[in-house]
Amino acid sequence: MSDLSRPQGPKIIAIANQKGGVGKTTTTINLAAALAEAGSRVLVIDLDPQGNASTGLGIDVEDRKYTTYDLLLDDVPLHDVVMPTVTPNLMIVPATVDLSSADIELMSNEKRSFLLHDSLRQTQMDDFRLDYILIDCPPSLNLLTVNAMIAAHSVLVPLQSEFFALEGLSQLMLTIREVRQTGNKDLRIEGIVLTMFDQRNNLSGAVEQDARDNLGDLVFQTRIPRNVRVSEAPSYAMPVLTYDTTSKGAQAYRALAREVLNKNRVQAA
Say if residue 119's pLDDT is above 60: yes
Tell me the mean pLDDT in the region 35-50: 97
Q: Cβ contacts of residue 69 below 8 Å, gap of 6+?
A: 95, 96, 98, 99, 102
Say if residue 146's pLDDT is above 90: yes
- Domain 11-263 listed as CATH 3.40.640.10: no
Say if residue 5's pLDDT is above 70: no
Query: Residue ranges of the alpha helices (H) in the chain?
Result: 24-37, 52-56, 68-73, 78-81, 102-106, 115-119, 143-151, 169-182, 202-215, 228-232, 240-243, 248-268
pLDDT for 63 = 94
Q: Among the listed ranges 22-36, 120-134, 202-216, which one has the minimum average pLDDT value?
A: 202-216
Say if residue 90's pLDDT is above 80: yes
Across the chain, mean pLDDT equals 90
Q: Among the listed ranges 67-81, 121-135, 160-174, 199-213, which one has the minimum average pLDDT value?
A: 160-174
* Backbone torsion region of residue 191, taken as left when φ is above 0, otherwise alpha when ψ lies between -120 and 50, otherwise beta: left
Tell me the mean pLDDT in the region 30-49: 97
Confidence bin at 75 (pLDDT 50/70/90)? confident
CA distance 191 to 259: 10
CA distance 129 to 42: 9
pLDDT for 267 = 67
Residue 188 contacts residue 12 (beta carbons within 8 Å) = no
Q: Which of 264, 185, 195, 200 is nearest to 230 (CA)?
A: 195
pLDDT for 200 = 83
pLDDT for 140 = 87
Strand 42-46 and strand 90-93: the pairing is: parallel
CA distance 48 to 130: 22
Residue 187 contacts residue 176 (beta carbons within 8 Å) = yes
Residues forming a β-bridge with 248: none
> Tens digit of pLDDT for each residue in 220-269?
999 999 999 999 999 999 999 999 999 999 999 999 999 999 988 866 65
pLDDT for 186 = 95
CA distance 70 to 78: 10
Tell me the mean pLDDT in the region 189-214: 88
Q: What is the residue extent of each domain of the chain?
A: 11-263
CA distance 155 to 13: 6
List Cα–Cα distances, 77 to 6, 66, 80, 140, in angstroms. 22, 10, 5, 28
> Tens digit of pLDDT for each residue in 157-185?
999 887 777 777 888 889 999 999 999 99
- Provide the 3-class DSSP secondary structure of residue 221: strand
Say if residue 16's pLDDT is above 90: yes
Eight-state DSSP code of residue 123:
G
The one-letter code for the residue type at 5 is S
pLDDT for 1 = 42
pLDDT for 97 = 92
The one-letter code for the residue type at 225 is P
Q: Between residues 95 and 21, which one has the greater pLDDT? A: 95
Instruction: Confirm whether pTM is higher than 0.85.
Output: yes
Q: What percent of the chain has pLDDT over 70?
A: 96
- Provide the 3-class DSSP secondary structure of residue 18: coil
Confidence bin at 8 (pLDDT 50/70/90)? low
Q: Which of 75, 29, 74, 76 is nearest to 48 (CA)?
A: 29
